[in-house]
């Protein structure tokens, strides 16, 4: 059996330094940590989880709570990028991930009870449900927590700059000559939906375009293709059609394009479309989708850094907002 002493001999570092790496101490440089972890992988070393837990008083497990009303689960494009970034950082620092639900062994309970039974050191919450009392019970607990796309005065949060993304989308359409710009919302009762709608309104006001309430449409707040389709159907029933649409999510934009084509109209010749997210399929659509990119991988990796910092004793509540980027493709055209 490979031990830390074998790794120490091979790397030239002391057994104490090797032990610190596997026990998550922060006073070891990233370069040293990488050498030790790479050597451990090469030798096939497997840390003794029970011994490590006894030493550090931690379970070395992070809970992941993901609430996604569309039912896509881990196939959801937002989740995929976030989990990749989060997993890379968390596992590199010795943590395992565990999904948290209300169902434990076939018995309904709450998120907090599940976290206590599993003994997680902290939890990341993705797309939280503010209407769920079990979520508020978890928030009121002492378990270290980081939330994505949420307000909180007591827990660290991280999100993309949804307002600025909405402003960029509308300003880009305006630069192409569009003045009748509709918005397919992701739901005003969601954090991202509200912020992107706020960006839409801010840009219209800045550009001197009156807000037409009929140009704001939404389906169920799930950012699905179906929601985009039905929201666009509402817009297409108006007497005066918009020349461009800002959809609060790329899946919404895909549904909108489908509805537009069913009406015998073309994208972008008759109606330009811009989305938000830059999911993987956006570049492969016909036409390729112009969109606002948010870096979901960076969201996940930064969330992991923030949570592990809290687990290890940091008491500062952080609120981090990451910039977004306009990605120009083929779904928008200059208005004649």
Do 8 and 47 sit in the same domain of this protein? yes
Q: Is the pLDDT of residue 317 over 60?
A: yes
Q: What is the pLDDT of residue 177?
A: 98
> Contact, 55 vs 24, CB < 8 A?
no
CATH number at residue 177: 3.40.50.2300
Segment 49-78 mean pLDDT: 65
Segment 62-91 mean pLDDT: 77
DSSP 270: T
Segment 262-266 mean pLDDT: 97
Q: Band of the pLDDT at 180, cuts 50, 70, 90?
A: very high
Q: What is the pLDDT of residue 12?
A: 94
Q: What is the pLDDT of residue 22?
A: 78
Do 272 and 310 sit in the same domain of this protein? no
Residue 325 lies in a domain: no
Residue 331 lies in a domain: no
Residue 329 lies in a domain: no
What pTM was computed for the model? 0.80
Q: Is the pLDDT of residue 71 over 60?
A: no
Give me the number of domains the chain comprises: 3
Segment 52-72 mean pLDDT: 68
Q: What is the pLDDT of residue 30?
A: 86
Do 118 and 144 sit in the same domain of this protein? yes
CATH number at residue 29: 1.10.260.40
Do 128 and 216 sit in the same domain of this protein? no
Give residue 21's domain range. Answer: 4-56
Do 190 and 69 sit in the same domain of this protein? no
Q: What is the pLDDT of residue 301?
A: 96
Q: Looking at 23, 40, 56, which one is the last position of a domain? A: 56
Residue 326 lies in a domain: no
Burial of 252 (0-12, 13-18, 19+ CB in 10 A): buried
Q: Is the pLDDT of residue 54 over 50?
A: no
Q: Which two tokens stand for residue 146?
A: 């980081």
Segment 74-103 mean pLDDT: 82
Q: What is the pLDDT of residue 27?
A: 82
Residue 117 lies in a domain: yes
Do 285 and 184 sit in the same domain of this protein? yes
Task: Give the Cα separation of 125 and 320 in Å (integer).
Answer: 15
Do 90 and 198 sit in the same domain of this protein? no
Q: Which residue has the higher pLDDT, 68 or 176?
A: 176
């Amino acid at each position: 059996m490979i031990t830390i002493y074998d790794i120490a001999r091979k790397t030239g570092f002391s057994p104490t330094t090797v032990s610190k790496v596997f026990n998550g101490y922060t006073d070891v440089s990233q370069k040293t940590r990488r050498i030790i972890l790479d050597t451990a992988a090469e030798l096939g070393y497997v840390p003794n989880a029970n011994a490590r837990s006894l030493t550090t008083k931690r379970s070395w497990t992070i809970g992941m709570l993901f609430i996604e009303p569309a039912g896509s689960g881990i196939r959801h494009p937002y989740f995929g990028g976030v989990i990749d970034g989060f997993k890379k950082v968390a596992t590199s620092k010795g943590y395992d991930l565990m999904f948290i639900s209300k169902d434990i062994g076939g018995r309904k309970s709450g998120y907090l009870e599940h976290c206590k039974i599993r003994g997680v050191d902290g939890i990341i919450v993705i797309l939280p449900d503010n209407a769920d009392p079990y979520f508020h019970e978890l928030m009121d607990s002492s378990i270290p927590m980081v939330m994505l796309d949420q307000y909180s005065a007591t827990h660290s949060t991280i999100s993309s700059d949804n307002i600025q993304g909405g402003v960029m989308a509308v300003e880009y359409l305006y630069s192409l000559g569009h003045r009748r710009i509709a918005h397919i919302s992701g739901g005003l009762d969601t954090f991202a939906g509200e912020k992107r709608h706020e960006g839409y309104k801010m840009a219209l006001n800045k550009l001197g375009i009156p807000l037409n309430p009929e140009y704001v449409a939404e389906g169920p707040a799930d950012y699905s293709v179906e929601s985009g389709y039905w929201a666009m159907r509402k817009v297409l029933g108006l007497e005066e059609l918009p020349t461009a649409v800002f959809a609060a999510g790329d899946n919404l934009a895909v549904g909108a394009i489908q509805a537009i084509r069913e009406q015998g109209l073309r994208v972008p010749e008759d109606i330009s479309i811009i989305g938000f997210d830059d999911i993987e399929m956006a570049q492969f659509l016909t036409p390729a989708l112009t969109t606002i990119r948010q870096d979901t991988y960076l969201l996940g990796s930064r969330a992991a850094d923030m949570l592990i910092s809290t687990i290890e004793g940091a008491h500062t509540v952080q609120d981090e907002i990451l910039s977004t980027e306009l990605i120009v493709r083929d779904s928008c055209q200059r208005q004649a």
